Amino acid sequence: MMQQWQPVLTIKDLTKIYGGGCPRCLEVTGPEFETNICCHCGAVVACGQVSFELYPAEVLGIVGESGSGKSTVVRLLYFDYDSSGGEIYFHNAAVSANPQVKLPQTDENLLTLNSFQKRQLRHACLGMVYQNPHLGLRMAVSSGGNIAERLIMAGCRHIGQMRGRSADLLAKTEIPVQRLDEPPRNFSGGMRQRVQIAKALSNNPVILFLDEVTTGLDLSVQARVLDLIRQLQSEFHLTVIVVSHDLGVIRLLTSRTMVMKCGRVVESGLTDQILEDPQHPYTQLLVSSQL
C-alpha cells in the first residue's frame, strides 16, 4: 500500500528558455507579468521552474491557454527537447520496466543522461501521442510498421510476432485489423490518433503522454477517442499525463490537474476541486469562461 504513494516521477524546477537567456529571465516573466518573454533579453521562457510529482496509475492533467507551456513540459519529459534547467527523477522501484534496458538510478537526474540513454529510456518506458500525427507517425509506412518500429527498438526480430502484436494493438484501439498494412496517410484524423495510441502502447509504457490528442477532431470522433483512452487507462492502469486546453477533456480524463499560464504552474490539485472551487484568478476566469 505504501508503494502506491511513492511517485513514479519527480520533477523539480523544469525550465525551457528559447533564445540566449539572461540571469533575470525568470524574475521578469510569468503570470504576474502577463508574459513569458524576458524584457531584458527577449528570450521566451516556454516553461519556468515547473515542479510536480506523478503517481502510479494516476491521470494528471495540464490545462491552460495556448502558448502557456503545456506541450513544452511533456515534450521535455519525453526528451524531445533539451531542457534549460531543472531535474527529473524516475523512481523505477515503483514500476515493472523492460528488463532489457538498464534503467537510471532513482537519484540520477534524467536531464544529465546522454542522448543514447535518453532514447533507451524513452523506448523502454515512455509513450507519446501528439496532436499532430505527423510528429508521431511515419505517414508512408504501414500502420503495422509504425507499431513494429517500437517492437524492433525493443529487440524483436520476428515478423510474425510483430504483426500479431500490432494487430492486437490495432484491435484494442478499434482499427479494423485488415488495415494493418495500410499507411496512416490513408486514414482519417481520428484513425490516425488511434494508430498513434496503439504505437504509444506497444512497449507497455510506464508513463503515457497525451498532448491535445483530440484537438481538431470532430466532436463525435473526439468523444469516441476520449472513451477509448478512458477504457484503456482503466484496463491497463496506465500512468498518464493529459495535456489539453479543453476543460471538458480534463474533467473527463483526469483526477489531478495543474493549471499553467505564461510558462508557470499557477494552481494544482484534485481536478474536481479545481473545477468547483478555483483559487487562482486565472483559473477562475478559465472555469467561468468554459462553463
Of the residues 15, 29, 36, 71, which one makes contact with Mg ion according to CB under 5 A: 71
Closest residue to bound Mg ion by CB: 71
Among 15, 29, 72, 196, binds ligand ADP (CB under 6 A): 72
Q: Verify binding: residue 160, another protein, rule CB under 8 A.
A: yes
CB of 195 to ligand ADP, least distance (A): 22
**What are the strands of the beta sheet with 44-54, ordered from one edge?**
44-54, 9-18, 85-90
Given another protein, Mg ion, ligand ADP, none, residue 72, with its beta carbon under 5 to 8 Å by kind, binds ligand ADP
Residue 115 contacts which entry, another protein, ligand ADP, Zn ion, none (Cβ below 5-8 A, type-dependent): another protein
Retrieve residue 149's grid coordinates. Answer: 518500429
The binder of another protein chosen from 3, 23, 157, 289 (CB under 8 A): 157
- Ranges within 6-65 binding ligand ADP (CB under 6 A): 18, 36, 44, 46, 64
Residue 96 carries which side chain, given as an amino acid letter? S
What is the contact mask toward another protein in residues 74 to 113, using x (rule: CB under 8 A)? ----------------------------------------
Q: Which is nearer to ligand ADP, 55 or 81 (CB)?
A: 81
Distance, in Å, from the CA atom of 122 to the CA atom of 126, rounded to the nearest integer, reads: 5
**By the rule CB under 5 A, 40 interacts with Zn ion:** yes
Residue 56, number of CB atoms within 10 A of its CB = 19
Among 7, 10, 18, 22, binds Zn ion (CB under 5 A): 22
Please report whether residue 71 would count as binding ligand ADP according to CB under 6 A: yes
Shortest reach from residue 2's CB to ligand ADP, in Å: 35
* Of the residues 22, 37, 41, 153, which one makes contact with another protein according to CB under 8 A: 153
Nearest approach, Cβ of residue 38 and Zn ion (Å): 3
Report the interhelical angle of 189-201 vs 143-153 (nearest 10°): 20
Q: Which does 46 bind (CB under 5 to 8 A by kind): ligand ADP, Mg ion, Zn ion, none?
A: ligand ADP
Residue 61's Cβ-count burial label (10 Å; 0-12, 13-18, 19+) is buried
Considering the rule CB under 5 A, would residue 36 count as an interface residue with Mg ion? no
Under rule CB under 6 A, residue 68 binds ligand ADP: yes
Return d(Cα 236, Cα 24) in angstroms, integer: 44
Residues that bind ligand ADP (CB under 6 A): 18, 36, 44, 46, 64, 66-72
Query: Site residues (CB under 8 A) for another protein?
Result: 115-116, 119, 141-142, 144-145, 148-149, 152-153, 157-160, 162, 181
Binding site for Zn ion (CB under 5 A): 22, 25, 38, 40-41, 43
